[in-house]
A and B are shown apart, each in its own frame.
Chain A
């Protein structure tokens, strides 16, 4: 269980990501999503993401992508973000979920694998959301939900739901 970078752009990222796929929005716009190792940060706007949701052999599927507009800063401890995390834990579990983090304390959004059928993304109440149909090769089919009820991150700058503290070397295991 570790974190990496997620890039979401209107053009493909150059370099060697861990995984990548295109995502088509409901308005027809095509986005290029890519996940990168934490020590291989690509240029441009990126957010920290839990690599537990990344799978280069993963299937296609619908995803709710919540992202802060440029210039918008919401701290991770904002009560609205905390309540969204509670609602994720309490509600029907999505296929997978990871918050997106900028720096050590800024909530940059979330990526949520939508299950079949109606689903409300709690993070979409905090920041604008896009529903994307993401192609194969980026996200897992599903990931087990966090144990709960903890909603805090387990160390400065780690995306929830990474749910353990890093060791002295800065790594998380499990």
Chain B
């Protein structure tokens, strides 16, 4: 797969398959400044942009991800989610779900336009468009999902297939040693 550099922030285009995702820098649900590359480290990662906890589709989708955690916790794959909600709201929603991944807060909407993910139809909440990107350890995009309509979001099985492909490509011992 050809690796493209990060999209030009001025272009306002959402990254696609093969693009290098920008190394976001945002506060996590505890208020710590985190970099996406630090959070991804050496593992395949699902990067989830979501509208906010007020959206029933997001609550349904996040319940799906919470159920998936029990596989991810033993499979060296990660989830990172981003919305425009404050650190406090991120922490509260995360706790209510029993989610165990990192929630990033972008109340300043620092990356909304640079990533081309502003939901222009919602002038009340001004949120991120729902989108999921499965990332390789070097932040290159394996697959991008447009979640504007709920059925555009990845199923758990699609995430499994993405993580399998990424792990096969990036784990040097995917085929176990023979001696």
Instruction: Report which A residues bind B (CB closer than 8 A).
Output: 86, 89-93, 142, 144-145, 147-152, 154, 163-165, 174
Contact = CB atoms under 8 A, between A and B. Distances in A.
A92 B98 CA distance: 11
21 contacts: A90-B98, A91-B95, A93-B30, A142-B32, A144-B30, A147-B39, A148-B78, A148-B99, A148-B101, A149-B100, A150-B43, A150-B73, A150-B75, A150-B76, A154-B42, A163-B41, A164-B41, A164-B42, A165-B42, A174-B38, A174-B41
Interface in B39-95: 39-43, 45, 69, 72-80, 95
Contact of A152 (B39, B42, B69, B73): B73
Contacts of A154: 42, 76
B41 A147 contact: yes
Contacts, number: 68
Contact of A149 (B32, B38, B40, B73): B73
Given A148-B78, A149-B73, A89 B30 contact: no
B77 A90 contact: no
B42 A144 contact: no
Size category of the B interface is 20 to 34
Nearest to A88: B100
Nearest to B103: A148
Interface in B5-51: 28, 30, 32, 34, 38-43, 45
Contact of B28 (A92, A142, A144, A164): A144
Residue among B32, B78, B95, B100 with max Cβ neighbours from chain A (10 Å): B100
A90 B99 contact: yes
Interface string B91-123: 000010011111000000000000000000000
A86 B100 contact: yes
Contacts of B34: 144
A79 to B, nearest CB: 12
Contacts of A86: 73, 100
Contacts of A163: 41, 43
